[in-house]
Chain A
Amino acid sequence: MRNAGALTVTAPGDREIAMTRTFDAPRRLVFEAWTTPELLKRWLSGPPQWSLDVCEIDLRVGGRFRYVWRNSRNGDLMGMGGVYREIVVPERVVATEQFDDPWYPGEAVGTVVFVESGGATTITQTIRYGSREARDGVLKSPMEEGVGHSYDKLAELLASSPR
């Protein structure tokens, strides 16, 4: 029942990064887990050692959200926030997003779409950056300690690409 679907990550177009994942739960619950602070804190906690300490959500058009992650080992903080532009419960959320200490220029816009089918929910999360340079900058930034790369991983990537 876990892992209802594999995660797909792509970088379509010039300015976007997109992710798709299916969850074995009705859309109402997935949407709730995605937009309720105490639930978000439980899963969007970040890499090991990090936790989502601050999670504030004013879920209405023009309302703000703010997330702050904290590294329990060295006390580092990483914050981001933005403004909701579009909310269709439980189908769609569009919001601007910007990190406190951004490593890319301009503001990004994130769109999450929730589609339910047969009791399962597929989410597609697309982040559109202000420019292709910004998107490239994000692609180049290591989010974490780089994972080892090898031809195996390359082969996996290629093999998993739809023909």
Chain B
Amino acid sequence: MNVQASPEPAAPSLDATFAALADPTRRAILARLASGEASVTELCEPFAMSQPAISKHLKVLEHAGLILRGRDAQRRPRRLEAAPLADATRWLETYREYWEAAFQRLDDLLGELKTRETRGPARGGPLRRNRKRRKQP
């Protein structure tokens, strides 16, 4: 791996990863790099931004360990470093899956509550207490 060491060799934290991902331009840069390495000039093309502005974003991404620099001294291509993103993505996906499942159950429950409301009180069932509560002013 011909990579220039970043000023802080410590493993990038998820915090830095998420902070870096918080910006839409930086996400777009990563999306571009996901399809292959690119020089700063090439990265500037799709954006209506100056090279220094793009370089600033690149510095943040580099600091977060999300991109690495190739050794080619002329082009200095940037490429995606997947590990920190994979960590962040994995966590978000797991968290998302957990809550998606819960919220789908909530969707079903809400559908049931709506039906009961429009049909008026049903006989028995676990929702009796709520019906009582709903009658209160």
Contact = CB atoms under 8 A, between A and B. Distances in A.
Interface of A: 1-4, 7, 9-12, 14, 17, 19, 21, 23-26, 29-30, 32-33, 36, 38-39, 42-47, 132, 135-136, 139-140, 142-144, 146-147, 149, 151, 153-155, 157-159, 161-163
Contact of B94 (A23, A45, A147, A151): A147
**Do most interface residues of chain B lie in helix, strand or loop, or is the interface mixed?**
helix
Interface string B16-60: 001101101001101100100000000000000000000000000
The winner among B18, B88, B103 for most chain A CB atoms within 10 A is B103
Given A140-B91, A158-B34, A33 B106 contact: yes
B109 interface: yes
Contacts of B21: 161
Interface string B82-103: 1001111111111111111111
B63 to A, nearest CB: 15
A45 B92 CA distance: 19
User: Size range of the interface on B?
Assistant: 35 or more
Contacts, number: 140
Nearest to A158: B31
Contacts of B95: 9, 17, 143
B60 to A, nearest CB: 15
A143 B94 contact: yes
Given A14-B15, A38-B126, A139-B18, A151 B107 contact: no
B8 interface: no
Contacts of A19: 99
